[in-house]
Amino acid sequence: MLEFQSQLNRQLLKTANFRELQVRKKFEDDEIEVTTAIIYSHPSALPSDQEEGVVYFPRRNGKKNKFEFDVIKLWEIPYQELLNGGIAIAPLAVLGKIQDVEIPSLMRKLEEKFAGESVERKDKLWGSTSLLMGLKYDADLVALLMEEVRNVENSSVWQKAVKQGLDRGEEIGIEKGIEQGAIASGQKHLRLILDKLYPNHPDSINSLIEGTTNPDKLDQAINEAISGSGWEKIQELLTQE
């Protein structure tokens, strides 16, 4: 029996214990071994007293009920192992052991793995992937990665840019507002991606970003960053006339 825990929830163990007892009772004459495994998505979801996979629940007679279970820490499992499992397990790879710089590569590999599925099935798999990523990564970064790898038209960056531009356009004119919104949004998201994927980039890049007012160049830099080109490539691009 498998249970998934994405946040600290001690009640889940009581529920899991109850389910295991019910299943044991149902198959007690068949000599079927029943065990429970708790899959933890993030270290914060695993309290210290559950590390060993043993907890005790008080009973009405004053005794304690011992509940043993297997502890599965997704963040300690190399993402390649999860990716190479069954199609239904593959989305869990985003919660596996992975360096931030490897995330764009993983997204492309997931795209390849899902390629042979029906449109409906693929949508469900990507939906699961997006939700799981949201447990670990910033929502804006998740949106950018999802849009990029799936080649969806009108990426979230530019959708947000247009909205920001239209809002600002009430004051300085629609056309100018869209341009300014695109610049501000592009700068914001480029900084976000660089800080997450390339945390060791020099501070000078932030100054280059602030000084870049060409939305097309910012868009190109975002695509380069997501594709894993490295901060050096971004710096080179932003310094070009």
Per-residue pLDDT, 153: 32
Name residues of the chain where pLDDT drops below 70: 10, 148-182
The predicted pLDDT at position 166 comes to: 46
Nearest to 107 by CA among 130, 87, 85, 88: 130
| pLDDT value for 167 | 53
- Predicted confidence at residue 172, as pLDDT, reads 44
pLDDT at residue 79, as a whole number? 94
Tell me the domain boundaries of the chain: 2-75, 77-137, 156-239
Retrieve residue 63's tokens: 């005794």
* The predicted structure's pLDDT at residue 169: 47
Answer yes or no: are the C-beta atoms of 169 and 176 closer than 8 Å. yes
